[in-house]
């Protein structure tokens, strides 16, 4: 029997409060009793986090804008970004590579991964019916053509009529074409479901197609290898890039949103993207065409020298070769109006300090130049991230260690990170401005030239490595 006093108290409680209390009680049921999707929805952690070493399964594609293997190690913008995120939630990423967008989305629907990271636009995810996370970057969707397809290049969808337009299996790209066809019924194209955008760019460069559609990041990363390509017009501007989440990954989606809003995340993402995309802003298709010819004709004379000296100093030989090309175009007799000479363009004072007796001797020049580069690396503070140290050292090689120190000091004064190459790229050009002269211990300098110097070496290095991978040497 329930005591009469309790019944009286119960009767005085408003029915609305009773229902609220019952609701709270139901929501308090331990989430471990629910299935994994419900656990996540109600704020619990997913089952795949259980265990000592939880693994985040990431579906990606083998693209320069996403994920690739370099010197036996994985690399790429998406690879670095995913690792940054995975570190923040205490898991280890496992990358599963799929050859096409269709295969990637199919695998995600089948539960092979927790998320997909492959330079996917929100439009692509939406058209494909996928659930996507918050944006982390934006790109333009471009129509890219062979430089010789017409003069001038097509400037709108109507001028694609009659051209051989090929597109990859991305649903969003074909959606553009279908929309344009409503206004231009004679517009036709060929769809390649199994080919990536990068492979279609190669087809256009080889003259096997006239034009294709591709995002601006993929175009920027590939045009230095394929200088026959040119951007004709923008199909869609400022499209957000995102990661696509598998069904039921509520917890992961929340953590991703939280991570993107953490202080400092935006700057770290910008630094990663700049590491890959920064050098592509400096593009000269004629220069790159000449460089590719000289890889075949001039480089073989000095390759063994570059390899030997680089190996002695534990440096990539392709980087040393790229630097030598930037300095002298692999001309051992090169001499500048200011008196620097040789393959590595050493000054007289630098050569004497390195024990180089004959700057025009290729062996002495390369050995001296690499020793000097190692000196620049050795004097850098340990606080500079390993991925950026070489760019700092190359900048010091060309502008001088003192001016590099001035740039780092100025960056700190302006509230920028003096240990970030991304910040130094913005700060070095300020060394030439009079308003900062009083803050520079070593005086003004042409800092913008140092930034271009590093960008060109990075581009030359990327082109050379691509040529080696393709067996062009």
Give the gyration radius of the chain's Cα atoms: 28
Per-residue tokens: 369: 């130049």
Inter-residue contact 142 to 238 (CB < 8 Å): no
In DSSP terms, which residues pair with 60 in a beta bridge? 97
- Among residues 159, 198, 327, 367, the one annotated as catalytic is 327
Euclidean distance between CA atoms 154 and 131, whole angstroms: 35
In DSSP terms, which residues pair with 94 in a beta bridge? 57
In DSSP terms, which residues pair with 146 in a beta bridge? 229
Euclidean distance between CA atoms 152 and 206, whole angstroms: 19
Euclidean distance between CA atoms 98 and 194, whole angstroms: 11
Euclidean distance between CA atoms 443 and 92, whole angstroms: 47
327 noted as active-site residue: yes
Three-state DSSP at 323 gives helix
Euclidean distance between CA atoms 364 and 215, whole angstroms: 45
DSSP 157: G
Contacts (Cβ under 8 Å, ≥6 apart) of 282: 452, 455, 456, 459
DSSP 386: H
DSSP string, 30-78: -GGGS-HHHHHHTT---GGG-SSS-EEEEEE-BBTTTBEEETTEEESHH
> Which residue numbers are catalytic?
327
């Amino acid at each position: 029997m329930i005591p009469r006093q309790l019944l009286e108290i119960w009767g005085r409680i408003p029915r609305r409060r009773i229902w609220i209390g019952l609701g709270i009680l139901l929501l308090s049921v331990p989430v471990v009793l629910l299935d994994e999707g419900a656990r996540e929805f109600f704020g619990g952690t997913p089952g795949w986090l259980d265990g000592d070493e939880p693994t985040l399964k990431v579906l990606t594609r083998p693209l320069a804008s996403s994920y690739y293997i370099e010197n036996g190690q994985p690399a790429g913008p998406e690879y670095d970004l995913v690792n940054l995120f995975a570190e923040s939630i205490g898991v280890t990423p496992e990358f599963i590579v799929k050859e096409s967008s269709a295969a990637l989305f199919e695998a995600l629907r089948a539960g092979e991964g927790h998320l997909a990271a492959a330079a996917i636009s929100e439009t692509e995810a939406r058209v494909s019916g996928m659930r996507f996370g918050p944006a982390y970057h934006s790109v333009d969707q471009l129509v890219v053509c062979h430089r010789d397809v017409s003069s001038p290049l097509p400037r709108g969808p109507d001028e694609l009529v009659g051209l051989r337009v090929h597109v990859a299996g991305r649903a969003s790209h074909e959606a553009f074409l279908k929309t344009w066809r409503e206004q231009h019924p004679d517009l036709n194209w060929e769809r390649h479901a199994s080919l990536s955008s990068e492979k279609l760019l190669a087809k256009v460069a080889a003259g096997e197609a006239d034009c294709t559609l591709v995002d601006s990041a993929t175009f920027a990363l590939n045009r230095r290898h394929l200088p026959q390509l040119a951007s004709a017009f923008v199909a869609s501007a400022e499209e957000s890039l995102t990661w696509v989440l598998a069904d039921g990954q509520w917890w992961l989606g929340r953590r991703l949103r939280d991570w993107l809003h953490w202080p400092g995340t935006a700057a770290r993402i910008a630094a990663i993207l700049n590491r890959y995309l920064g050098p592509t802003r400096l593009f000269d298709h004629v220069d790159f065409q000449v460089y590719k010819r000289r890889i075949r004709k001039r480089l073989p004379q000095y390759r063994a020298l570059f390899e030997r000296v680089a190996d002695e100093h534990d440096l990539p030989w392709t980087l040393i070769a790229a630097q030598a090309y930037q300095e002298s175009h692999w001309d051992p007799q090169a001499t500048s109006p200011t008196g620097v000479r040789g393959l590595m363009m050493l000054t007289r004072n630098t050569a004497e300090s390195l024990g180089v007796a004959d700057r025009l001797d290729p062996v002495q020049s390369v050995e001296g130049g690499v020793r000097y580069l190692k000196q620049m690396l050795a004097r850098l503070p340990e606080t500079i991230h390993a991925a950026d140290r070489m760019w700092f050292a190359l900048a010091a090689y060309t502008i001088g260690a003192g001016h590099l120190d001035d740039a780092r000091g100025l960056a700190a004064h302006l509230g920028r990170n003096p240990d970030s190459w991304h910040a130094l790229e913005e700060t070095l050009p300020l060394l030439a401005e009079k308003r900062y002269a009083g803050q520079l211990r070593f005086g003004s300098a042409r800092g913008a030239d140092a930034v271009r110097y590093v960008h060109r070496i990075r581009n030359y290095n990327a082109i050379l490595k691509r040529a080696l991978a393709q067996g062009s040497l």
